[in-house]
Amino acid sequence: MHQLRLDSPRVSELVTGVKRDICLLDRVDAEEHDELTVLDISMKSNADALARVLARGARVQYFDHHGAADIPKHPALEAHIDTDAEVCTSLIVDRYIGSRYRMWAVVAAFGDNLVNAAVGAAQSLGLDHSELARLHELGECLNYNAYGESVEDLHYHPSDLYEAIAPYKDPRHFIYDEPVFNVLRTAYAEDLYRANEIAPLYEQDFGAVYVLPDAAWSRRINGVFGNRLAQRNSRRAHAVLVEKADGYTVSVRAPMNSLKGALALCEQFDTGGGRAAAAGINRLPRSDLELFLAAFGHSFSGR
């Protein structure tokens, strides 16, 4: 959205939330002639709400990289959907606006753990190694701030974070001029340190499963912790579970060298969804833990 608004500024109402809060269109009370810009939430999860706002006479511009099922044919819907595993929403927007704010697209691609795609997109920018490393770190920090059960778990409300970023055309200036980056970087390092202290619950050559305790830091770090594990061991699949009162939330990362199998695993459970490379289960009952471990083994052992 930052790229789009830099390219064509407009006054709008921002509807956002934590990463798992994906049914954002449900919260939009659209009227005729309203213009909606929808980013990075699956059309599948928002299908009913999308049909509703279109029926009310709103126009919708939709950018996303999640599995879409059926894209409705409607004259007021402009859909930019690309489910390629090496593409994220920021790169779809980059394409749409003619790469005018490529550096921010690179930051976001790093945030989505699409390291190769980010480095590839950065090629034309002529950055040196340390600048690229800084953008990588910024992407991870911004992505890290999206993870939590509710916004209370986060360091910044996502809309406040957007307001902080909004004036900056160049992410390098944001890094040096705003305290946000340092706050997030420090907090991120602390959370990651705690996660790294935890031994896996299940570990095989082909994958490992970790369980983090019921705490705000676990809910913040589990996604990026999963990305870190995936980067450290690219032939392994990883699942990171976070305990909650009645069970677990689950995030699964497919092996980086195949980017496949995460969605197929998670879809076997009622509240599972996501993409082939990175998927999750919103609520895994405690009694289903053994079932999940078995399904994880079946999915990734190659047997």
- Span of 34-42, 131-139, 148-156, 200-208 interacting with Mn ion by CB under 5 A: 34-42
CB of 88 to Mn ion, least distance (A): 5
CB of 280 to Mn ion, least distance (A): 12
Instruction: Give the ranges where the chain is alpha helix by DSSP (H).
Output: 2-7, 47-55, 89-96, 102-111, 115-122, 129-144, 158-165, 171-177, 180-196, 216-232, 262-266, 289-300
Q: Which residues contact 167 (CB under 8 A, 6 or more apart)?
A: none
Write out the two tokens for 256.
């980086």
Q: Rounded CA gap, 100 and 3, in Å?
A: 8
Q: Rounded CA gap, 273 and 271, in Å?
A: 7
**Does residue number 40 form part of the binding site for Mn ion (CB under 5 A)?**
yes
Write out the two tokens for 231.
């980067």
Q: What is the DSSP letter of 96?
A: H
- Taking the least distance from each CB to Mn ion, the nearer of 19 and 220 is 19
- Residue identified by tokens 């190694």 is 129
CB of 64 to Mn ion, least distance (A): 8
CB of 127 to Mn ion, least distance (A): 23
- Taking the least distance from each CB to Mn ion, the nearer of 24 and 295 is 24
**Does residue number 94 form part of the binding site for Mn ion (CB under 5 A)?**
no
- Taking the least distance from each CB to Mn ion, the nearer of 22 and 184 is 22
Find out whether 183 and 160 touch, Cβ atoms under 8 Å.
Answer: no
CB of 301 to Mn ion, least distance (A): 28
- Taking the least distance from each CB to Mn ion, the nearer of 40 and 140 is 40
- Taking the least distance from each CB to Mn ion, the nearer of 58 and 266 is 266
- Taking the least distance from each CB to Mn ion, the nearer of 58 and 278 is 278
User: Measured at CB, which residue is nearest to Mn ion?
Assistant: 40
CB of 42 to Mn ion, least distance (A): 9
Residue at 85: amino acid letter? A
- Span of 33-41, 73-81, 173-181, 208-216 interacting with Mn ion by CB under 5 A: 33-41
- Span of 39-47, 139-147, 217-225, 244-252 interacting with Mn ion by CB under 5 A: 39-47
Strand order in the sheet with 202-204: 202-204, 207-212, 237-244, 247-253, 278-285, 272-274
Positions in the binding site for Mn ion (CB under 5 A): 40
